Amino acid sequence: MPRHGVARALSKQGLGSRTQAAAWVREGRVSVNGRCVRDPEFPVRIGVDRIVVAGREAAKAPRLVLMLNKPRGLVTSASDEQGRDTVYRCFESAALPWIAPVGRLDKASEGLLLMSNDPQWAAGVTDPERGPDKTYHVQIDRLPDAALLTALIAGVDVDDEILSAKSVQLLRSGAKNAWLEIVLDEGRNRQIRRLLSAFDISVLRLIRVAIGPLALGELAKGQWRELSADEIAMLTFL
């Protein structure tokens, strides 16, 4: 049976982040098989060794997955060294267990962001090979032609990295700008913005509208809801 550092084991059970768990260990709040341990890397076997935190036996927390319609201007992080507001502001009035973002949306981006207390499940959703596609609606500062849409799918070398979209289609256009639907089958850092920038295109708005078959729907900006068991199953790849 594999062994994990006790801090990682607590995180895998959905009880907190590895950083939080490591702090509990160093503070002397964690015991393994009746012995207080202070090393976050102390090896344990999940389901075999008895781990107690602050006098209570650690048990795997029920999986919780939330869908948030992330507003523009919030940082996808538990805290920010620059003091900027984070997505956790949207959950301040709720009594929730520890949850963490499943993937990221940058500060200027909006839309569907998942939060969960299950790191293993989250890893499956964000896995670049097995995870679900992500769909975005993107407003750009020009009117695209068919050649541009084809080029975005073909890809371009950006800083020795090939960036491309799985699919691109024109949703609607105005006099000077247009909306595209862009589907990605991988999640690289600021991928859409960097891809479009390579063609001298600026992004005016970027909204994630779906992860796999899970659509943002009519959820209001800044609001959240818990996913049903069936919705979670649609995104489960582990």
Domain with residue 142: its CATH number is 3.30.2350.10
Note whether 210 and 136 are within 8 A (CB): no
Domain enclosing residue 166, as ranges: 134-211
Asked whether the CA dihedral 217, 223, 226, 232 is positive or negative, the reply is positive
- Within this chain, do residues 125 and 225 fall inside the same structural domain, yes or no? yes
Catalytic residue among 39, 80, 106, 141: 106
Tens digits of pLDDT across the chain (238 residues): 577 788 888 887 777 778 888 888 898 888 888 888 888 898 888 777 788 887 777 777 788 999 999 999 999 987 777 878 899 999 988 888 888 899 989 999 999 999 998 888 888 899 888 889 999 999 999 999 999 999 999 999 888 889 999 999 999 999 999 999 999 998 788 899 999 999 999 999 999 999 999 999 999 999 999 999 999 999 986 4
Per DSSP, what are the bridge partners of residue 169?
Answer: 181
- Within this chain, do residues 206 and 144 fall inside the same structural domain, yes or no? yes
Q: Which pTM was predicted?
A: 0.81
Note whether 214 and 234 are within 8 A (CB): yes
Told to judge if 106 belongs to the known catalytic residues of this protein, a careful annotator would answer: yes
- Within this chain, do residues 169 and 219 fall inside the same structural domain, yes or no? no
- Within this chain, do residues 176 and 224 fall inside the same structural domain, yes or no? no
Q: How far apart are the first and last CA of the chain?
A: 19
